[in-house]
Amino acid sequence: MTTQVENFPGWPEGVQGPELIDNMKKQAARFGADFQLAHLNAVDLNVNPFRLQTSAGEIPARTLIVASGASARWLGLPSEQALIGHGVSSCATCDGFFFRGKEVAVVGGGDSAMEEALFLTRFASKITLLHRRPGFRASKIMLERVMAHTKIELRTNVVIEEVLGVEEKEVKGVRLRDVANGTKSILPISGLFLGIGHEPNTKMFSGQIDLDGDGYIRTTGNVLVTRNGVVVPGLFACGDVQDRRYRQAITAAGSGCMAALEAEKFLEEHGH
Ligand code: NDP
């Protein structure tokens, strides 16, 4: 979903997300990778070979690398969805650069929102942090940093009713409602950043492997997946589905490499 990627090593001028992926695919194909597009409907990880029920039929697999990622949480407003990539973003690290000298807003009251707001101070002229409650979930130190920053203004007890600019195809502002007294107001901004958390895409694995309290895959030895604390032979996970901290294309690519090396070693050790 990312368009311009500015922080992948080796691309000094940046690269478009789809172009980066296309190049990676070509490179893997040169070494014999076979690609098959299918939707995964169900998995059985209690047997080896694992059984994958997909839209293209059943696929048996002696090794499986789960790289299903995490999806940003969205507010769910139609105007927000219409403006994703046109001023609405869930990743300040990816898109903050485009808002140099502009006024933006960040939604959320946790550490992600604080981090996004602080990161955006490098580019934006003003950041308004919008939170639906008076209290914050964020750690004290992050909140203090945000409160002390002259470029950041906090507005609590507000929810976004609509993102303005759908017709113009660029964010022009947000319509806010004060939850305490119902007052509506318009905040003119050029960018809206969602900092309301992520959800790992692990529903179909639940009950078969160890997940943490928020559904991220627990790994040991970097990329080995466990069930009741015991490593599941041949099963690996990499990228955002097991990483809630870094969430960068390059760190995901790095853990993908680790998983691939482990899978190869596993197959070799088992004589395949
Ligand atoms: P959190 O779940 O902690 O916070 C999400 C925030 O978004 C909450 O304030 C919540 O409001 C708000 N929210 C959720 N849904 C909506 C909605 N529909 N409309 C408006 N607001 C909404 O997620 P984070 O991603 O911030 O953090 C997840 C974990 O990662 C935490 O443990 C955090 O400490 C950690 N983290 C640490 C960082 C660091 O140390 N540098 C950086 C980023 C994350 P409400 O409070 O009302 O529920």
List, in order, residues 6 or more apart from 24 with CB less than 8 Å away: none
Here the CATH number for the domain that contains residue 83 is: 3.50.50.60
Q: Which of residues 128, 160, 194 is at a domain's end?
A: 194
CA 190-196-201 angle, 5° bins? 120
User: Do 172 and 213 fall within a single domain?
Assistant: no
Residue 167 lies in a domain: yes
- 2 vs 180: CA distance, rounded Å: 36
What's the rounded mean pLDDT across residues 100-126? 96
Q: Which of 43, 63, 46, 65 has the alpha carbon at shortest distance from 54?
A: 43
**Residue 55 DSSP one-character state:** T
Please confirm, yes or no, whether 238 is among the known catalytic residues. no
List, in order, residues 6 or more apart from 86 with CB less than 8 Å away: 165, 169, 170, 171
Q: Which atom of ligand 1 is nearest to the CA of 198?
A: 25
Please confirm, yes or no, whether 257 is among the known catalytic residues. no
Residue 7 lies in a domain: no
Ligand 1, atom 45: nearest CA belongs to which residue? 109
State the pLDDT at residue 73.
93
User: Do 117 and 156 fall within a single domain?
Assistant: yes
User: Do 136 and 88 fall within a single domain?
Assistant: yes
User: Do 211 and 262 fall within a single domain?
Assistant: yes
* H or E element in which residue 64 lies: strand 64-66
What's the rounded mean pLDDT across residues 27-39? 95
Residue 188 lies in a domain: yes
User: Do 52 and 109 fall within a single domain?
Assistant: no
User: Do 78 and 65 fall within a single domain?
Assistant: no
Check pocket membership of 77 for ligand 1, CB cut-off 6 A: no
Check pocket membership of 162 for ligand 1, CB cut-off 6 A: no
State the pLDDT at residue 3.
64
C-alpha of residue 110 to centroid of ligand 1, in Å: 3
**Residue pLDDT, tens place only, 63-94:** 999 999 999 899 999 999 999 999 999 989 88
Q: Which of residues 194, 217, 233 is at a domain's end?
A: 194
- 172 vs 93: CA distance, rounded Å: 21
What is the number of structural domains in the chain? 2
Q: Which atom of ligand 1 is nearest to the CA of 197?
A: 25
User: Do 218 and 170 fall within a single domain?
Assistant: no
Residue 86 lies in a domain: yes
Q: Identify the active-site residue in 22, 44, 91, 257.
A: 91
Inform me whether the pLDDT recorded for 4 exceeds 80: no
User: Do 185 and 236 fall within a single domain?
Assistant: no
**Residue pLDDT, tens place only, 237-262:** 999 999 988 888 999 999 999 999 99
What is the pLDDT confidence band of residue 2, given thresholds at 50, 70 and 90?
low
Residue 1 lies in a domain: no
The parent domain of residue 226 ranges over 37-69+202-269
User: Do 144 and 206 fall within a single domain?
Assistant: no
State the pLDDT at residue 261.
98
Tokens 């015991």: give the residue. 230
C-alpha of residue 2 to centroid of ligand 1, in Å: 21
Residue 210 lies in a domain: yes
Residue 149 lies in a domain: yes
Q: Which of 238, 219, 160, 162 has the alpha carbon at shortest distance from 195?
A: 160
User: Do 260 and 225 fall within a single domain?
Assistant: yes
Ligand 1, atom 14: nearest CA belongs to which residue? 196
Q: Which of residues 163, 194, 225 is at a domain's end?
A: 194
Write down the pTM of the prediction: 0.76
User: Do 112 and 165 fall within a single domain?
Assistant: yes
Q: Identify the active-site residue in 94, 238, 240, 243.
A: 94
Please confirm, yes or no, whether 91 is among the known catalytic residues. yes
Ligand 1, atom 18: nearest CA belongs to which residue? 75
Ligand 1, atom 38: nearest CA belongs to which residue? 111
Q: What percent of the chain has pLDDT over 70?
A: 99
